[in-house]
Amino acid sequence: MRRLIPLAVIPALLLPAAPASAHPTPPSGPTATGYGGAVASVDPTATAAGLKVLRDGGNAVDAAIAVAATLGVTEPFSSGIGGGGFFVYYDARTGRISTLDGRETAPRTMTETAFVDPATGAPYAFQEARVSGISAGIPGSLATWDTAARRWGTRPLSAALRPAADVARQGFTVDATFAQQVTDNAAAFSQFGPTAQLYLPGGAPPAAGSTLRNPDLAATYDLIARRGVGAFYGGEIGRDIVGAVQHPPVAASPARPWPYAIRPGGMTLDDLRAYDVRSPAPTHVGYRGYDVYGMATPSSGGSTVGEALNLLERSDLRKLDKVQSLHRYLEASALAFADRNRYVGDYTPRPLLDALLTDGYAAERACQIDPARAAAKPVAPGVPDGRYGRCASTSGGAAPDLGLSTTNLTVADKWGNIVEYTLTIEQIGGNGIVVPGRGFLLNNELTDFNFTPTQGTAPDPNLPGPGKRPRSSMAPTIVLQHGKPLLAVGSPGGSTIITTVLQILVNRLDLGMTLPEAIAAPRASQRNTATVTAEPAFIGSPEGQGLAALGHTYTPMAEIGAATGIEFLPHGKLLASAEPVRRGSGSAGTVR
C-alpha cells in the first residue's frame, strides 16, 4: 500500500517480507493453554500484539485495544476505526461486568425513508444502499477504545495504538482470506480511487504471501496518538471522513462496471463531535446454575441469546439424544428471533427488554416447541406483557436481517480481568470507501436498519431515524459460575452471530464438548426463516439427517461465524481457543 497523494495514482507497495524481528512472534495455532493471560483472535499478528502488551505488564483492556487496532490493519474489511462494536468487560477486583456501546449512529438528518428511492418509492437494492455515503454511520470504535482505556486500562490510548501503527508501517503478510476478500469486493473497491489504489494495486488484488504496508493508516494512528481522539471526532481526520461521505471519491474511470449510482450521505462534522459511547447495564440470565451476561440494545445479541437459553432450560438437554437437543436449539432460536425482530431496536425500553428474559415468559413460549416436528417458519412473536399462563398461540412473523461480516477478540490478564469484544464495519469491505489519505474503510452499518417497515401495522423498532443506532446481532458473552469467570466467547457473522454463540454455549455447557470442540463443531442457524442455514458438515451428519426427518430443511452455507473464546480452568490455568479452519483459522496464545 502507499501514502495517498492527491491526483496521483501510484501502485500499492508489494514488498518483500518484513524482517522476522519486526513484530512479536505470532502464536502457532488456534488453541493454547497456559498461565498469566491469554488472547484469542482471528489473526496471529493481532494476537501476538495483545500477548506482548500482557507480557509487558498491561492489563486485558490495554491488550484488547492493541489487538483491535492491529485487526484494523490486518483485517481491515471486517473492522477498524471506520466502524463500531460492543465491548464487554469483567473487572476481577469488583466482580462486576460492564459494557460499552460503541455502535455507529445515524446522522441527525436521517429519516425513515433514507433507503427509499424518491424517484420510484421503492427501497434501494442492497448493494446500491451499501456502496454509498448514505450507509456510513458515525464510527464508534475509536471512542470505545478511548473510553475503555480511560476507565479500566493502565496505559494511555497512544501506547495501545503503537503496535498497530508499527504493523501498518512495516507491513504484514497477505493471507488467502485477505486476498479472497479483496477479490470478492473488486467491483465495489474499483469505484473509488483511494480504495483501488490501496487494495487493487495495478488493478488486481494483492497476492497471498506478498507483504503489504499501509503508511496512511500508520500516520492516522500516529496523529491520534499525538492529538487525541478529537482529531477524529471533529478535527482534521473528521473533516476527511465527512468529505468522503458527502462527496464519495469516485474514480474517474472505474476498472469494473457498477450498476448503480453512488449516492452521497448526510454526515456532518457536528455529527462526529456529538458521538458518545453509552454504558448500558448488561443483559443477564441464569442458565442451569451459570450466570450469562451479554450486550443490551441496540444489540439484540444479549437478549436473543438469553431468551433462547431460557427456552432451552425447560428441557434437560443432557438427557436427550443429540438430534432432540439440536431440534430444541433450532426451535428455541426461531422463537427468540421472532421476538427480536418484533421488539428489539435502539429505543427498546429496558423494562420490555428485561421482560423478554423472564422465566415466566420463557415458559409460555417454550411450550410451543413440539419434540415430534419442526414448526412452520416464520413463527410469530409472543406478548411479553407480564401475564403468562397457557401456551400462547399467535400467527405471522418477519424475517431477520442477514448481514455477514465483523470480527471478535477475547482477552484475559493475570489479574483475572476479561474483555470480550465484537467489532465491525458491517459487510466485508464496509461501504467500499477508503477515506482519502487516511488508510481506513468506512462502515455501511446503517444498512442494518430496515429499509421499509417489516412488521405490518405494528411499530417497527428498527427503522432509520436521526441519531439512531441500527439494531445489531453482536453477542459478546461472559459466563460466570458461582460468581467466578468460566467462559468468554463471541463471534462475527451478522445475524448468525446469535446462533453461533448460542450453539457454542449449548455444545460446551450441555453437550459435554470442550471449548475447542464446541467452537469447531459444524453449525446450523435458525433465525425464524423457512429453512435452516447450515454448514455442509452439519447437513450431512447423522444429526442433520435426523433433524431433516423432523421437518427441518436446509440452505447450505460454506462457513458460519469465526468464534474466539477463553475458558477459565482450575488453579489459574487458561484455555484460549479460536477457529481451527473457518476464515482461514484463528490464533490463540497464552503469556506462558
Q: Is the pLDDT of residue 228 over 80?
A: yes
Could you please report the per-residue DSSP string of 419-487? EEEEEE-SSTTTTS-BPTTT--BPP-GGGGS-SS--STTSPPTT---TT----B----EEEEETTEEEE
The pLDDT, as a whole number, for residue 109 is 96
CB 465 within 8 Å of CB 105? no
Q: Which residues are part of the catalytic machinery?
A: 406
- Sign of the Cα torsion 68, 299, 317, 286 reads positive
Residue 278, classified by CB atoms within 10 Å of its CB into exposed (0-12), middle (13-18) or buried (19+), is middle
Question: How many angstroms separate the CA atoms of 141 and 445, rounded?
Answer: 12
Q: Given this model, what pLDDT does residue 456 score?
A: 61
**Distance of CA 352 to CAs 30, 286, 345, 367, Å?**
39, 18, 11, 21
Q: What is the mean pLDDT of the chain?
A: 92
- Whether 417 shows a pLDDT value over 70: the answer reads yes
Query: pLDDT by residue (tens digit) across 453-479?
Result: 886 657 899 999 999 999 999 999 999
Cα 574 to Cα 566: distance, rounded to the nearest angstrom: 7
Count H helices and E strands in the chain, helices first: 19, 19
CA gyration radius, the chain: 23
Q: What number is the average pLDDT over the span 211-226?
A: 97
Q: What b/e sequence results for 77-115 when a residue is b if at least 16 CB atoms lie within 10 Å of its CB, and e otherwise?
A: bbbbbbbbbbbbbbbbeeeebbbbbbbbbbbbebebebb
Query: Of the given ranges (3-7, 37-41, 112-116, 440-444), which has the lowest mean pLDDT?
Result: 3-7
Q: Note the pLDDT of residue 27.
A: 67
From CA 564, how far away is CA 8, in angstroms rounded?
41
Residue 78 · residue 582 · CB < 8 Å = no
Four-point Cα dihedral 583, 138, 169, 565, nearest 10: -40
pLDDT at 394 over 70: no
